[in-house]
């Protein structure tokens, strides 16, 4: 579990204007990038991620939009402005690719398809997570579904009745949340598949982890790879359990996908949030090191406690703010912790006890 990034390996922010805009809390500009690919920031209203970077890939005949962004009037205007700057309109769009189906990426696909009659493409594992994938407005990546109730997950983890009520009710001041229905694919993209776009060679790289069917897209003649949420320059993507079938190991998948992406170190990384950069080997090492530290921290917390519940482990870990201020992100924190605990159980470093109506507890394996 010890992989520490080598400080000698280079990392360079190439989206300088994006980074400056991020620091000033502004929306970055629409930019034309290497190989005539366009970066279009689409705002996510009332969300700390602030915007999704949509990418426009024009071909000889046709134009593909990758991750149209969160569905809102403001977002639609921003996407249309970006298309105009690239000399196109929504009607010119021939294809839409979702790196994954989180609403901040795939939310506006339906609207764009209706305006253009474009095909919609994603990985089959992402399609498989769709029927249940309706997300309350205002919550990015925190998908809920009728067959996967958050309340049951919270109770099973040992959250108190108060916490369950707090986290399954609507946030203060919000009325009934309209639900967003996400577009189904017309085309499935498996690892190694090329986008149907004449004059371009855009290759699908399957990178499961953040979601089961997350993909990156490499355009090697332009020297770029679109990394979606898989690799971001500053934050670590959430590794949750949503949309998972039994037997899947999201953290192990994510770590393997990170290792794989280091091979594109000579490509500029075009992420779906924050800013562009070079240095995928360095950044993927950092992310792997982050998860190694997390796994070690969980083992330490379990060592220091007597058979803590999953909820107690989550509360004792270090988060970006104190636990009592984590608010509604406690659900994502719990899922993230559960993914790490599963990984440690699979490695034989932890065992689970409880369950069957009682909260799940974790312990170090051993006599007694
Ligand atoms: Zn996501
Ligand atoms: Zn995202």
The answer to whether residue 345 is domain-embedded is: no
Ligand 1: centre distance to CA 106 (Å): 10
Ligand 2: centre distance to CA 304 (Å): 35
Ion ligand 1 residue ranges (Cβ < 5 Å): 102, 141, 229
Whole-number Å distance between alpha carbons of 290 and 146: 33
- The pLDDT assigned to 142 comes to 40
- The pLDDT assigned to 175 comes to 35
The answer to whether residue 367 is domain-embedded is: no
The answer to whether residue 125 is domain-embedded is: yes
Task: Give the structural domain span for 232.
Answer: 12-150+176-288
Q: Structure pTM?
A: 0.89
Ligand 2: centre distance to CA 36 (Å): 23
Ligand 1: centre distance to CA 290 (Å): 18
The answer to whether residue 214 is domain-embedded is: yes
Whole-number Å distance between alpha carbons of 112 and 100: 16
Ligand 1: centre distance to CA 257 (Å): 15
The answer to whether residue 293 is domain-embedded is: no
Q: What is the pLDDT of residues 76-117, one digit of tens each?
A: 999 999 999 999 999 999 999 999 999 999 999 999 999 999
- The pLDDT assigned to 141 comes to 41
The answer to whether residue 144 is domain-embedded is: yes
Ligand 1: centre distance to CA 12 (Å): 23
Ligand 1: centre distance to CA 364 (Å): 32
The answer to whether residue 165 is domain-embedded is: no
The answer to whether residue 366 is domain-embedded is: no
Ligand 2: centre distance to CA 244 (Å): 18
Closest residue by Cα to residue 233 from 23, 86, 8, 68: 23
* CATH number of the CATH domain containing 230: 3.60.15.10
- The pLDDT assigned to 174 comes to 39
Ligand whose nearest atom lies closest to the CA of 54: 2
Which residues of the chain are under the pLDDT cut of 70?
Answer: 1-5, 7, 131-149, 170-180, 241-246, 367-368
Ligand whose nearest atom lies closest to the CA of 214: 1
Ligand whose nearest atom lies closest to the CA of 52: 2
Instruction: State how many domains the chain has.
Output: 1
Ligand 2: centre distance to CA 118 (Å): 22
């Amino acid at each position: 579990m010890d992989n520490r990034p080598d400080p000698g390996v280079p990392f360079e922010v190439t989206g300088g204007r994006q980074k400056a805009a991020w620091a000033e809390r502004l929306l970055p500009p629409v930019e034309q990038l290497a190989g005539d690919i366009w970066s279009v920031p689409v705002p996510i209203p009332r969300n700390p991620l602030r915007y999704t970077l949509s990418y426009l890939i024009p071909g000889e005949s046709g134009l593909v939009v990758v991750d149209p962004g969160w569905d809102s009037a403001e977002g639609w205007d921003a996407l249309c402005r970006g298309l105009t700057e690239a000399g196109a309109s929504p009607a010119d769009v021939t294809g839409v690719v979702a790196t994954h189906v989180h609403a901040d990426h795939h939310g506006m696909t339906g609207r764009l398809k209706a305006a253009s009659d474009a095909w919609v493409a994603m990985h089959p594992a992402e399609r498989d997570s769709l029927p249940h994938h309706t997300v309350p407005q205002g919550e990015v990546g925190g998908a809920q579904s009728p067959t996967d109730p958050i309340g049951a997950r919270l109770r099973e983890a040992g959250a108190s009745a108060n916490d369950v009520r707090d986290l399954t009710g609507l946030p203060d001041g919000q009325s009934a949340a309209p639900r967003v229905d996400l577009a189904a694919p017309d085309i499935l993209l498996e690892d190694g598949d090329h986008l149907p776009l004449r004059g371009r060679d855009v290759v699908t790289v399957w990178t499961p982890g953040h979601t089961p069917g997350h993909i990156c897209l490499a355009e090697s003649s332009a020297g770029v790879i679109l990394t979606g949420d898989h690799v971001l320059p500053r934050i670590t993507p959430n590794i949750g359990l949503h949309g998972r079938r039994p037997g899947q190991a999201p953290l192990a998948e994510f770590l393997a996908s990170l290792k794989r992406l280091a091979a594109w170190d000579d490509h500029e990384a075009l992420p779906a949030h924050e800013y562009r950069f070079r240095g995928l080997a360095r950044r993927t090492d950092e992310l792997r090191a982050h998860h190694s530290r997390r796994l070690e921290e969980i083992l330490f917390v379990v060592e220091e406690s007597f058979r803590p519940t999953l909820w107690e482990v989550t509360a004792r870990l270090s988060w970006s703010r104190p636990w009592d201020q984590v608010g509604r992100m406690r659900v994502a924190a719990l899922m993230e912790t559960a993914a790490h605990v599963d990984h440690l159980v699979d490695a034989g470093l932890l065992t689970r006890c409880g369950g069957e109506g009682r909260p799940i507890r974790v312990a170090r394996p051993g006599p007694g």
